Structure 1
Amino acid sequence: MTLTDTYADTLFTSYRLGGLSLPNRVVMAPMTRVRAAAGGLATASMATYYAQRATAGLIVSEGVQPSLIGQSNPGTPGLHTDEQVASWRPVTAAVHANGGRIFAQIMHGGRVSHPDTNGLVPVGPSAVPAVGEVFTPTGPQAAPMPRALETAEVPEHAQSYAAAARRAVDAGFDGVELHGANGYLISQFLSSNANLRTDRYGGSVANRVRFAVEAVEATIDAVGAARTGIRLSPGGTFWGVEEKDVPQLYAVLLGELARLEPAYVHLEATVEDEVLVALRRAWPGALIMNPVLPMGARRAERPDADRWLGLGADLISFGRAFIANPDLVERLRAGLPLEAEDAATYFQGGDAGYVTYPAYRHAG
């Protein structure tokens, strides 16, 4: 009997996550789809999109900016105005009407932004630009030089996650996931090359994890630990971030988070399995595992899920597989073929390649 055989049915067993009872351990990973309306408003198509995928044990929404300066990409939704909150209510209601559960991913882009997108100079831990081109309303442009946050300003950006979390709960979300991965603001503070600070937020490992911990702590104070998770990409190099001493950095971070008891930690497969397994052993709480590199060479499949359940993960997140397979849970359960997603429609806007993928049709 193989490891996969041993854990073959685990993916479809129930799991208690925070205050929620999940019917299965399949999580829809957060994915930017740039379908929001002007003003960062959620739309009727977004309600359809998420409701179609409500059989997931948990849905984590696309990244939602907690403030105007936190907006990374054009066409993305927010949770910092009353109008945005109101626009999300039909989305969360549609998911709940279909029996689902949904967390909002709170994403502050930090230096990964552009004045053409939100009219503001991006901010970051240090005046070090991201590597590569960022998305703007007129197409990709070189990442601009961010303004380094003053020490006195840093707490307000940590608090912005909490303010957005309050609005998320008001909008009907079951909780929030802080985006601490993929080179965005929390990840920039964790980084050893994007964060060159010499104050209490930079330098040592203990200082570099401080912003992440303060953001999680503020969010838990705002909406409760059972409604708060965080996503991390240990050793990830998105947008040019680097992290020295990854095992130590994340061991310290998880140790600090453990005392706060958030609902979960969501790890990406951005470092060697050996490091990830050690982090699993060090983390006493629920672990969601994204089992393949996000936007890497291939999407996650059923064997990846079973393997990571065998390695200690509690839940498994799928990204691209959910785009073209709104009924992914049933396809995985029944061993049905998965449709291929159309990469050309990831970010193009409109309903095509968004709400147009059908459920599996059995031969009649």
Structure 2
Amino acid sequence: MVQNDDILFEPFELGDLTLRNRILMAPLTRSRSKQPGDVPTEMNAEYYRQRAGAGLIIAEATQVSPQGKGYAFTPGIHSEEQVEGWRRVTDAVHEEGGYIFLQLWHVGRISHPELQPNGNKPVAPSAIKPEGAKTYISADSGMIEIQTPRALELDEMPDIIEQFRQGAENAKRAGFDGVEIHAANGYLLDQFIKSGSNHRDDEYGGSLENRLRLPLEVVAAVIDVWGAQRVGIRVSPTGSFNAMEDADPVTTFGTFAKKLDALKIAFIEVVEDSFQGNHVSGRPEAVIEAIRESFTRTYIANGGYTFNEAKQRIIDGKTDLVSFGRLFISNPDLPERFRLGAPLNEWDESTFYGGDERGYIDYPKLSDQST
């Protein structure tokens, strides 16, 4: 048990990087990439620059291929223009002395034919419609219902792995410091892991070992690009967002954590609770304990944390680092506000997704408010 009132502000060794503090910026979809092309812009670079005081920024979910896209205005990492756009972002963060990882994303079934190449059906482990799940295909489309996807063929699995591997390569060329693989929130890799969405009867479904096969193959491919010390993964063991459920999350994610530990990746980021839905009331302590027991490297907690709870969870040995989402949206200088015990800006949920500078780069810093 750690006893330190300043624990959140101490440097931390994450893989082979030394983070300036334990206050991380969580990956946050903001839907403000240039269209057409899903390209990050100077506005995006300014947004991340403002938040470079985080110990680590995990940049927003970024599709590894055209097939991986599920929402309008989200960025990609599969074209040269996108790589150059992200280079503006990484340069801005590095100029402020920060570190930034890219989150590699394939949405699987959470898409729509109008967002897919040639109007194809979105893909998934199984042709199961996610009841109640929705997306948006344009600025004025509103939220529209997800359709039934098609099941991936066995011979398509190498292409999925290659999409992530190429995304990892492109992230390196764009100047990122590492990558996080998105295996949470009901997207493709999460769909393979969880029993509710994976009803396959081949080597990629059925048993837990088979359901974990594709995510572990993706992790191995990304490690080949980056080395294990610059790779992390995000999971949401009890999240219900996008119609997700697993029959035994303690066993599923304890086993997954053990296999990831053997691959020696730098961290697991766990969505413990979510405003988007959770099958457990509060934090899933049994799942957290199973992951902590199975994974010997860094555990990152996520999900509605306050400053005091984050500090106490670290002191109690429940987590090593904490990633903050909505608080970082409205407080670009969140670590400094925490350090000083200063008031926090309130976020405007109506500006979370899409739009312009409003609710994106216009939240004031303490230094702005004192002049």
1:191 offset after TM fit, Å? 1.5
SS at match of 1:238: coil
Q: In the TM superposition, what whole-angstrom CA distance separates every residue of 1:12-53 from its partner, at most 9, and x where no partner exists?
A: 110111221101011100000000001010000000000000
Range 231-240 or range 117-126, more displaced: 117-126
**2:248 maps to 1:245:** yes
- Does the aligned pair in 1 maintain the 2:268–2:298 contact within 8 Å? yes
Q: Which one-letter code corresponds to 1:175 in the other structure?
A: G
Q: Determine the structure 2 residue equivalent to 1:120.
A: 120
Q: In the TM superposition, what whole-angstrom CA distance separates every residue of 1:229-279 from its partner, at most 9, and x where no partner exists?
A: 100011221111110111111121111111111111111114522321232
Q: Determine the structure 1 residue equivalent to 2:264.
A: 261
Report how many residues are paired.
354
Q: In the TM superposition, what whole-angstrom CA distance separates every residue of 1:44-78 from its partner, at most 9, and x where no partner exists?
A: 00000000000000000110000000011110000
Q: Distance in 2 between matches of 1:363 and 1:40?
A: 37
Q: Determine the structure 2 residue equivalent to 1:356.
A: 362
Q: Determine the structure 1 residue equivalent to 2:334.
A: 328
Q: Distance in 2 between matches of 1:276 and 1:189?
A: 20
Q: Determine the structure 2 residue equivalent to 1:281.
A: 293
Q: Distance in 2 between matches of 1:197 and 1:7?
A: 48
SS at match of 1:6: coil
1:8 offset after TM fit, Å? 2.3
Q: Distance in 2 between matches of 1:278 and 1:257?
A: 13
Q: Which one-letter code corresponds to 2:330 in the other structure?
A: A
1:363 offset after TM fit, Å? 5.1
Q: Determine the structure 1 residue equivalent to 2:277.
A: none
Q: Determine the structure 1 residue equivalent to 2:136.
A: 135
Range 133-142 or range 344-353, more displaced: 133-142
Matches within 5 A, 1:66-215: 66-118=64-116, 119-132=119-132, 133-137=134-138, 138-215=141-218
Range 337-346 or range 276-285, more displaced: 276-285
SS at match of 1:308: helix
Range 250-259 or range 131-140, more displaced: 131-140
2:312 to 297, 303, 307: 307
Q: In the TM superposition, what whole-angstrom CA distance separates every residue of 1:339-362 from its partner, at most 9, and x where no partner exists?
A: 100001111321110000110146
Tell me the C-alpha RMSD between the 2 structures: 1.5
Q: Which one-letter code corresponds to 1:313 in the other structure?
A: T
1:86 offset after TM fit, Å? 1.0
Identity %, equivalent residues? 43
1:152 offset after TM fit, Å? 1.2
SS at match of 1:332: helix
Q: Distance in 2 between matches of 1:217 and 1:103?
A: 17
Q: Which one-letter code corresponds to 1:88 in the other structure?
A: W
Q: Distance in 1 between matches of 2:34 and 2:131?
A: 28
1:231 to 224, 227, 234: 234
Q: Distance in 2 between matches of 1:209 and 1:307?
A: 32
Range 151-160 or range 17-26, more displaced: 151-160
Matches within 5 A, 1:333-348: 333-348=339-354
After the TM superposition, which parts of structure 1 deviate over 3 Å for at least 4 consecutive aligned residues? 361-364
1:320 offset after TM fit, Å? 0.2
SS at match of 1:316: strand
**2:23 maps to 1:26:** yes
Q: Determine the structure 2 residue equivalent to 1:219.
A: 222
- Does the aligned pair in 2 maintain the 1:277–1:311 contact within 8 Å? no
Q: Distance in 2 between matches of 1:155 and 1:363?
A: 55
Q: Determine the structure 2 residue equivalent to 1:295.
A: none
SS at match of 2:242: helix
Query: Normalized against structure 2, the TM-score is what?
Result: 0.92
Q: In the TM superposition, what whole-angstrom CA distance separates every residue of 1:273-324 from its partner, at most 9, and x where no partner exists?
A: 232123212211111111x3xxxxxx42102211221233111100000011
1:92 offset after TM fit, Å? 0.4
Q: Distance in 2 between matches of 1:266 and 1:159?
A: 23
Q: Determine the structure 2 residue equivalent to 1:296.
A: none
Q: Which one-letter code corresponds to 2:335 in the other structure?
A: V
SS at match of 2:219: helix
1:7 offset after TM fit, Å? 4.1
Q: Distance in 2 between matches of 1:355 and 1:243?
A: 38
Q: Which one-letter code corresponds to 1:360 in the other structure?
A: L
Query: Normalized against structure 1, the TM-score is what?
Result: 0.94
Q: Distance in 1 between matches of 2:120 and 2:229?
A: 34
Q: Distance in 2 between matches of 1:326 and 1:341?
A: 11
Q: Distance in 2 between matches of 1:104 and 1:70?
A: 15
Q: Distance in 1 between matches of 2:341 and 2:331?
A: 13
- Does the aligned pair in 2 maintain the 1:106–1:179 contact within 8 Å? yes
1:141 offset after TM fit, Å? 1.3
